[in-house]
Structure 1
Amino acid sequence: MPERLLAPEGIAASVVEFDHGGATLIAEDFGTGARPYVLIHGIGMGRSVYLDFIERLPGRIIALDLPGFGEAPEPSRTLTMARHADLIAAYLRSAGVSDAVVIGHSMGSQIGAELAARHPDLLDGLVLAGPTVNSAARSVWEQATYLLRDLIGERPIVLWRGAREYLRGGPHLVRKIRATVVHEPEKAYAKVKCPVLVVRGAHDPLAPVSWCTEITRLVPGRAELREIPDHGHGTLISDAELAAEIITEFARSL
C-alpha cells in the first residue's frame, strides 16, 4: 500500500492508487481550499522529492507519483506525455476536481501542457517549472548533457533525492526518457487556454531563457516568465521558498 509521505501530522490526508487505461498512479491529497495545487513530478522523480516545496504551499495539495515512478507500479508499456495527461485527467474527474492549478516540473511541464490542451475544463492555471524539452535541442544526448551540466552546480539535497528516485525508476528509465524527448510540447502550448506561469532557475541549462520566452509566445492567452536567481533545474526541490511565493502569488491572481 502507498504511504503518506508529504502531509504534515495532524492534517487529514488520503493516499490512493488510481487505475485507468492499464496504468496506475499514486495520489496523496491533503489540505483544504479552492483551486487545489496538483503537482506533477519530473523524469526519474516522485512526489517525495518535493517535500520542501510542498511545505510552503497553502491550501489543498494533490501530489502524484506517475506510473513507474515513486511508489507507483511499472506500467505494461511506457506512457506518452498525452497518455499521462489522460490518466491524470481521469483521476481528477474521479476526485471531483475541476479548478486545479497544475504545477509541472521538468517532464511534468510537458504532461501539464498536454493536460491543459486536452482537458481544459479541469484547470484554472498552469505552472511550468523548468520546462523541457527545448525545441532547439531535442535528443537524448543533448538533454543528458544539459542534465550533467546542471548537476555540477546543484545542492547536495537535490543530488541525493534525485539519485534515490532515479534508482527507483528501474531498468525502463531510458525508454521513459525517450518518450519525453520525442514529445513536441510546443504543439500543446499553442492550445492552452488557461493562464500560464513559466518559472526557471537562472542557471538551468535544460530550460534556457530563449525556450521559456518562446513558450510564453506560443501560449495564446496570458503567459508570464519569472526567473529565480542562483537556482538550477531543481528549483522546486531545494531552497524552494521563492518558487513557492511566486507560484502562490500567481494562483491568487486567477
Structure 2
Amino acid sequence: MPFARRPPADTSVVAPHGVPAIVRSFSHAGATLVVESFGRGARTFLFLHGIGMGRLAFRGLAGHLRGRGRFIAVDLPGYGAAPEPPRILTMARTADLLAALLRDGGEGPVTVVGHSMGTQVAVELAARHPALVDGVVLLAPTVTRTERTAARQILRLAHDLAIESPRVILVGAIEYLRAGPHIHGKFRAMLAHHPEDVYPRVSQPALVIRGGSDRVCPQWWCAEVAAALHGADLVEVDHHGHETMIRDSASSAAAILAFTGG
C-alpha cells in the first residue's frame, strides 16, 4: 500500500553534507507534520515545500546554507512521509498548524522559506502569526491572479518541465507519487487561496526569487507580488524554471544569504 504512510517516531538521520538531524512527527487539531531539524545558529529557517513535493526538495538549498543557521524542514499533511489528514487543510489552517509546531518547540521567530504552494502558506503564517516570523522568502510564488484554474496551472507546469533537468523531473515524479490519491483535492485547496489578498498584510522583510524561465510564475506576477509585499526585493535566476531551487540551489542560497545578511 504505497499511500498508507505512518509518521515516524523520533529518529536520527543524516541531513545534507553529513549534518546530524532529528526527524519526528507533530500532530495538532487532527493533522500531522513530519519535521526534520538540523544545524545550529542564531537564525532559524523554516522550509515549506510546494504541491506534490516534500521536505527532501530542500536538501540542496539547505546544504548551501549550511553553517548559517538552524533548519526546520517539514512534510505538510498528506505529503512526503506525513499521513493524510481527515480533511484537506486550507492554506490558512496549514499556517495555524505550523504556528502550533513553532510554539510547541519554543521556536521563533523564523525566516520562512516557501516554494510554489509553500509560499501561500508562508505568507499566511507571517500575516496570521507575525511574532513567529522575522522574514519571508518566496521561491516561485503561486498562484497568479489571472490563471487560477487547474487546467491552466497544469499546462504552465508542463511547459516549465520541458526545460528542466532529468534530476528535477525525477525528484518531482517521486514526490508527486508520495502525495497520494488526494492530489486533486489539494490542488483545489491551493487554487481556492488568493495570496494577493494576504501579501499586503505581511509586515516582515520579504524576498521574492524567480527562475528567469519560469512558466508557472511569469515576471509580471512576481513583480506584482514583490510590490504588494511593501516593496520586497525581487531576484531572478537566469536560465532556470519553476524548480530553480532544486536545479540551481547555489544561486537561490546566495540570494537568501544576501537578504538575511549572511
In which range does the TM-score fall when normalised by the shorter chain? over 0.9
CA 1:8 to 1:203, structure 2 compared with 1: closer, same or farther past 3 Å?
closer
What CA distance in whole angstroms lies between the structure 1 residues aligned with 2:69 and 2:216?
30
- 1:96 is aligned, of 97, 101, 106, to 106
1:175 Cα offset (Å): 0.6
Is the counterpart of residue 129 in structure 1 residue 142 in structure 2?
no
For residues 145 and 216 of structure 2, what CA distance do their matches in structure 1 show?
11
- Structure 2 residue 151 is the aligned partner of structure 1 residue 141: yes
Asked whether the 8 Å contact 1:29–1:61 carries over to 2, the reply is: yes
Tell which deviates more after alignment, 142-151 or 236-245. 236-245
2: distance between equivalents of 1:59 and 1:190?
A: 28
Distance 2:127 2:43 in 1: 18
Partner of 2:82: 72
Aligned length: 252
| Matched AA of 1:203 | S
Q: Which amino acid aligns with 1:65?
A: D
| Counterpart residue number, 2:33 | 25
Say whether residues 1:238 and 2:247 are aligned partners. yes
Matched residue, 2:179: 169
Q: Deviations over 1:69-125 (max 9, x none)?
A: 001011011010001100011101112122211000000000001011101001110
> Equivalents in 2 of 1:84, 1:247: separation in Å?
24
* Alignment CA distance shift 1:127-1:65 (3 Å): same
Distance 2:247 2:226 in 1: 25
Taking the aligned partners of 1:8 and 1:212, their CA distance within structure 2 comes to: 30
Moved over 6 A (4+): none
SS in structure 2 of the partner of residue 237 of structure 1: helix
Matching of residue 54 in structure 1 with residue 62 in structure 2: yes
Task: Give the C-alpha shift of residue 49 in structure 1.
Answer: 2.2
User: How much has 1:10 moved relative to structure 2?
Assistant: 5.7
2:93 maps to what in 1?
83
Quick one: which of 226, 235, 244 aligns to 2:235? Answer: 226
1:175–1:198 CA distance, 2 compared to 1 (3 A): same
Cα distance in 1, alignment partners of residues 24 and 184 from structure 2: 27
CA 74–5 in structure 1, closer or farther in 2 if over 3 Å, else same: farther
The answer to whether 1:190 aligns with 2:195 is no
Letter in 2 for 1:248: L
Cα deviation for residue 6 of structure 1 reads: 5.9
> Which residue is 1:40 aligned to?
48
Q: Whole-Å Cα distance in 2 between the matches of residues 184 and 214 of structure 1?
A: 14
- CA pair 92-167 structure 1, distance change in 2 beyond 3 A: same
Q: Does residue 221 of structure 2 align to residue 211 of structure 1?
A: yes
Match of 1:16 in 2: 24
Q: Which amino acid aligns with 2:35?
A: A
Distance in 2, Cα, partners of 1:151 & 1:6: 30
The 1:96/1:164 distance shift into structure 2, 3 A limit, reads same
Whichever residue aligns with residue 32 of structure 2, its letter is T
Shift of 1:155: 0.8
Deviation at 1:8, TM superposition (A): 4.2
Return the TM-score normalized by structure 1. 0.95
Q: Return the alpha-carbon distance in structure 2 between the equivalents of residues 134 and 164 of structure 1.
A: 26
User: Could you tell me how far apart the structure 2 residues matched to 1:219 and 1:131 are?
Assistant: 12
Structure 1 counterpart of 2:51, one-letter code: I
Unaligned runs of 5+ in 1: none
- Find the aligned partners of 1:157 and 1:88 in 2 and give their Cα distance: 29
Q: Deviations over 1:173-211 (max 9, x none)?
A: 011011101110011101000001000000101111111
For residue 218 of structure 1, report the CA deviation from its aligned partner.
1.3
- Distance in 1, matches of 2:111 and 2:19, equals 21
RMSD over aligned Cα, in angstroms? 1.5
> Structure 1 vs Structure 2: percent identity of aligned residues?
48
Following the alignment from structure 1 to structure 2, what is the Cα–Cα distance between the partners of residues 7 and 177? 29
- Distance in 2 separating the partners of 1:11 and 1:179: 35
